[in-house]
Each structure stands twice: as structure tokens, then as C-alpha cells.
Structure 1
Amino acid sequence: MSTVPPTTGSVSEADYEALVLKLHEIQAVKFGEFKLKSGLMSPVYVDLRIIVSYPQILHRVAEAMWDRVRETEFDVMCGVPYTALPIATCMSALHGTPMLMRRKEVKDYGTKKAIEGAFTRGQRCLIVEDLVTSGMSVQETVEPLEKEGLVVSDVVVLIDREQGGRARLTYILDTLVQHSLVTPDVAAKVRQFIADNQTDKPGVIPAAAAPPPKPKRLRYEERAALAKNPLGSKLFELMARKKSNLSVAADVATVEEMLELADKVGPHICVFKTHVDVFDKWSDEYAAQLRQLAGKHDFMIFEDRKFADIGNTVVMQYGGGIYKIADWSDITNAHLVPGSGIIDGLKQVGLPKGRGLLLLAEMSSKGTLARGEYTEEVVAAAEANQDFVMGYISVSPSSWKNGPGSPGLIHMTPGVQLSAGGDALGQQYNTPASVIGERASDVIIVGRGVIKAADPAAAAAEYRLAGWTAYEQSLAA
């Protein structure tokens, strides 16, 4: 079997299955009776040190692990000593990301460093680990890295024994049973051993090597019935009716360009996203023209205002001023930085008008602070205010602590292009297949891929097809 090339950008389940079979073939995963470091007798033993003698398998392991973090933001990586060091080295060499090394034993001479390599305080560090049982070896690496001022928020692990981490060894068992390399009796014995010997250590970080089991995705029509915000329900119905999960971001310079674009792309979109405060003029007449186009082409209007002030202030910003956003925009959005009072303020204006609010849970710009605990707080606020909050601006809801959350809440993801990458200002682009299929979002937001095209209508049609195809494939997964 050929090595997975580093430029594929996606490792399929067939690739994972082939890797499991190779690991079994070289006896990196063994079954029998083995005494563990803890003193327990185990029916399964994982010995990944041997992969250094098999360059092609080491390469496959590195690529499988890289595929799981290719959209994650980090500046350097550090392998947990010692078995993960060659894996991290391979990942670093293949993809050009700087690597650091943690010393298990700090010398009392020379530099006396615990962390070797070139880095600066504040850089984000990805930890690479081969095997997790309780997560303690990972924690032992996190502590000296954080002491040096590095930020550690992500870990990629090849195999998790499920004794305090998450279920990945089961995937290996299922694959080997399927290929008659392990008997069902042995597999049952291993599963019972795992269940009986949980470490339940706090702070265990999710493993990410084999494809995680995914809940069945509901159709947009089914989710419409679960949405508690009436506008959110209508949007799900619109998407199903129009067979479109495309939103075009009208990042143009003039009102005239915006209206012309809305007319061109209208037949292909479910949502038209605006930034009217960049224009040098605005009036009720322009708002009426935009509403007329929304009715003509059956799409919703989303003014991307990103409110971020206290409740009393956003009441005036949303309902008044020269823009009077609540009068014409179906959807708007807000940061939760000021606290949940911002939801109360916007709700006071928007709910009587049948509007909906998106909370910014994540952003697609490089270096964003909208992640981790902040995202968790946003999710909690959205879940508690579903009468007005209709969903999120998100980037990777499938990776959230509890997944995408309530099926009645919609996920809209910006920074989408047909090819992945980024721009000079820090915008990170992801493909429709990645956003809808892998990250479990619902709506792709496309800006430059449409508005900079020679034929915006044709480009919108292409993105609409790509987004809808990704959605239909995700239903069959």
C-alpha cells in the first residue's frame, strides 16, 4: 500500500483502516497477557516505539495525525518524550512547523533548559502524543511549556486506551475483528478490561487519531421543527426549499454595488450578508430596495454588525441611528464580551419584529481570541436564550466540548473558498466540504470567492452546488 502523500489534505476512513492493519502487522498492537507499568495485567499492549523501524508507517502515522490538526492554529509543536518524538519530528519535517523538545531529565550543567528549541513567549504549542491512558504524560509536558510562557490548548494523540481519555482503542478493535485478526472473544475481554480500569483523571485532553463516532445528522427540515426562534425555523425551511446553504458576504464599497450583487446572486443564496456601515450613504429607500430583492429571490438579510456594547447602548444602535438595522435586517450578530445583557438589549428591539440573533462563538481570522472557554460561555448563553438567539457564527462546531449543541440552533461559517488557504490580513479559508462535512456547520459564508469573480452569479451557483453536495454527503455519512 502506498504512503499517504502529505499534500492530500484529507485522510479517509479507508486510510485509517489500512493504518490499523499495518500497526497490527508490525505488532505495535498486541493481544495476550501483559503486565503494565501500573502493575495491572492487561489483555492488550500498545508498543508504538517499533514504528521508528518502519519509515513508511511512521510517515503514515505523521500524516494521519497532521490531518487532524491541519486547520488548528499553532506556531510550534512538541512531542511527549520519548516515543512521540519521532512522530513530531516527521510532522515537523513534512509540513515545516518548528518543533520543540522537552527534557525528561533537566541537566545540572550547560543551559539547564527544560525546553529545547527556538520559541517566544505567547506562541501556541501543539502537543504530539503517541498513546494516552490517563493523560498524565501530556500534563507533564504541558507544565514546563506553560512555565516558559507558551500557550498549550491542543493535543493530537495517535491511540487512546480509553482509560480516562476518549474512545479510540475501540475503533482499532472493531477494525481488527472485521478483518478476522482478533476474535470477538478477545475483543470483548479487552473492552471489559477497559471498562473495569478507568483512571478518571481530571484534565484529560481529547484524543484525535481515529475517526470519532458522529451522531446522525438531521435534515434541515427536521431541524426547522426543533428551532425555538421562529426566524431560525424559517431559515431551515428556506434552505431546504431552495436547496441552498450559501450566504454571500457583500463586502463591496457602495450601496449600488451591493444592490446589483444581491440581484445577481439572489437566486442561489439563502442569506445575503451586508456591512452597510462601510457605505458613505444610507437611507430607508435603500433598505426598501434590498428588502424587495430579498422577497424577489427568497433570501434573508444578515447585517453583520457585530454588536459588542452594553444592553442600553445596543438598544439604540440596533433600533435607531441612521441605519435602523432592526427595521430591515432579518438577522444580526453580537459578541458576548459585555455579558448576556447584550442579548437582553438586542432582544428587546428585535424579538417583537420577528428577528434573530447569531452569537459569535468563533471567528475565522488568524490569532482570534474567540475560542476555548469563551466559546463555551457563548454556547451556554445561546442555549439559554433560544427564543431570540437562532445560532452561531462558528468555525468548527464539531470540535466543541459537546459538539454542535442543540439541533435547533444554526451554525454559519465565514472564510469559505473552494480551495483552502489564507490571505495577507489573517483571514483563513476553508472549503465547503470541510466546513459542512467535517466541521458540522450549516451555512457557508463566501465573500471574495463570489464578489471578485468575473461572473458573480456563476460563482454563486458553483458555491451553492458545492455546499449542498457537502450537506447531502454528510447526511449519508
Structure 2
Amino acid sequence: MTAATILPREDVARITARALIEVQAVHLRPSDPFTYTSGLKSPVYVDCRKLIGYPRLRATLMQMGVGAMAREVGLERFDAVAGGETAGIPFAAWMADLMGLPMQYIRKKPKGFGRGAQIEGAFKEGQRTLLVEDLATDGGSKVRFAEALREAGAEIAHCFVVFHHDIFPDSANAMTRHGIALHTLARWSDVLKVARAEGALDAADLTDVEAFLAAPLAWSAKHGGIDRIDV
């Protein structure tokens, strides 16, 4: 196992926010909103997959991720790491490598051929699994991945993401109701703080983003998206 980088949460959040801005993973487009998988319209999109193209940066973030789990949970609380199809797979692989644990990945639905498997990799019933994803919005997909792991016989109580939008007050609570604690390196408040302090993003666009973050469903509905989220 590689030594974890254990830093205070505030330092981790600042470094992560700066990294996302640095590699242009934060996209602002208020005049032509993005559409999330849920149907939510948003003036902003965070693409954590950009991080896979920057080896030094991603290594630092993953070390801080392992450090966050050590700080908040403990490293001997897990027997395996699992990533959700598809964006969570590389992050889960890096985390598993640093933690010295086996890794699986979870399909969005079972294969319709062969073994019909939904969990891929060397799986042991009863394993205490850390679910890893790139980001979380409303928490719905994380709950579905966790349910698939539980149906296969795994124990799942923790989920790690690089970035949590943290725009729906009930998202983390919904995961808690399903017995899952959510851990993250950075949230929108962290990105906005760094962007404002360093003048890294257009100030007018940031104002639009802040309006969206204050009332995401109302902003979405006004721009042709959904007006409710069911988790």
C-alpha cells in the first residue's frame, strides 16, 4: 500500500478545486445550458474525466482520496473497491491500487449474454466494499450501484467521489437513508471560492452559476429542464 496523503479537508478542497479549474474540467455555459442524465438543465458542467489525462495531478488527488478515507473512516474497514460503469472505473482502479485492495466494476445493468454478470472482477460474498465514482449530483446512480453490490452479497456503507455537486439538500441524506456515507474531495462551494479568489473564471458566468446553485430546480425548469428530483 502506498502511504496516503492525509491533509485537512480545507486544504484538500482547495487543491482539488484548483486542479479542476486548471485542467478546464469546469465548463460554464449559461446561455446554452447543459442537460444532465436526470434531465436537469444546468449552466455548468464538471467533467472529472478530464483528470485521467494528467498523471501527476490525478495521482495527487487519488492519494488525497485515500487520505480522506483514512481520516474519515479508516483503511482497514475495506476488503475491496468497486467502480461504477463507466466514469468510476479508472478512479476505482487507482484507489484500489493505492489501498492495496482488489477491484471490481459494476455495470449499469446485467449483461444480456454469457454469465449475465453485473459485477465484474474477483468477487467475494460478504466483502466490505468502497464504492468509487468520479462525481455525485443527486446520488441516484450511487444508490443503484450500491443495491447491485448488496444483491451480489457485498457490504457497502461508504462511497467516495472526487467531486460532489452538493446542490440538492436531500442528496446526501438520501444516500444516508440507504445506508451509504458520502465522502468527497471538493464541492461547488470550494470551486466558487477558489475561482472568485483567483479570478480563474468569468465573473458574470459565476453569478449565473451561483443563481443556479441557490435554486437548481427552479433554474432548470426556467430553462426547459426538470423541476423535481426523486432519489
Q: TM-score band, normalised by the shorter chain? A: 0.7 to 0.9
Q: Which residue pairs with 1:18 in the alignment?
A: 15
1:201-220 alignment, distance < 5 Å: 201-202=230-231
SS of structure 2 residue aligned to 1:152? strand
Q: Which residue pairs with 1:142 in the alignment?
A: 146
SS of structure 1 residue aligned to 2:27? strand
Q: Displacement of 1:16 after TM fit?
A: 3.7
- Taking structure 1 as reference, are residues 8 and 109 closer, same or farther at Cα in structure 2, changes over 3 Å only? closer
- Taking structure 1 as reference, are residues 8 and 155 closer, same or farther at Cα in structure 2, changes over 3 Å only? closer
1:127-138 alignment, distance < 5 Å: 127-138=131-142
1:266-277 alignment, distance < 5 Å: none
Q: Which residue pairs with 2:84 in the alignment?
A: 80
Mark the structure with the bigger radius of gyration: 1
SS of structure 1 residue aligned to 2:153? coil
The CA distance in 2 between the partners of 1:104 and 1:97, in whole Å, is 23
Matched, 1:123 2:127: yes
Aligned partners of 1:106 and 1:114 also within 8 Å: yes
Q: Which residue pairs with 1:35 in the alignment?
A: 34
Q: Which amino acid aligns with 1:151?
A: E
The CA distance in 2 between the partners of 1:187 and 1:170, in whole Å, is 11
Q: Which runs of 5+ in 2 are unaligned?
A: 173-185, 218-227
Q: Which residue pairs with 1:191 in the alignment?
A: 210
Relative contact order, CA 8 A, sep 6+: which one is greater?
Answer: 2
Aligned partners of 1:177 and 1:183 also within 8 Å: no
Taking only aligned residues, the RMSD between alpha carbons, in angstroms, comes to 2.2
Q: Displacement of 1:55 after TM fit?
A: 1.4
Q: Which residue pairs with 2:46 in the alignment?
A: 46
Q: Displacement of 1:76 after TM fit?
A: 0.9
Q: Which residue pairs with 1:103 in the alignment?
A: 107
The CA distance in 1 between the partners of 2:152 and 2:15, in whole Å, is 39
- Taking structure 1 as reference, are residues 105 and 201 closer, same or farther at Cα in structure 2, changes over 3 Å only? closer
Aligned partners of 1:135 and 1:201 also within 8 Å: no
Q: Which runs of 5+ in 1 are unaligned?
A: 1-5, 203-477
The one-character-per-residue Cα deviations of 1:145-164 (angstroms, maximum 9, x if unpaired) are 00011111111121111232
Count of paired positions: 197
- Taking structure 1 as reference, are residues 104 and 8 closer, same or farther at Cα in structure 2, changes over 3 Å only? closer
Q: Displacement of 1:185 after TM fit?
A: 4.1
Aligned partners of 1:121 and 1:149 also within 8 Å: yes
The CA distance in 2 between the partners of 1:8 and 1:120, in whole Å, is 25
SS of structure 1 residue aligned to 2:110? coil
Q: Which residue pairs with 2:181 in the alignment?
A: none
- Taking structure 1 as reference, are residues 110 and 8 closer, same or farther at Cα in structure 2, changes over 3 Å only? closer
SS of structure 2 residue aligned to 1:30? strand
Q: Which residue pairs with 2:163 in the alignment?
A: 159
> Of 190, 194, 197, which aligns to 1:175?
194
Please report the TM-score for the alignment, with normalisation by the length of structure 1. 0.39
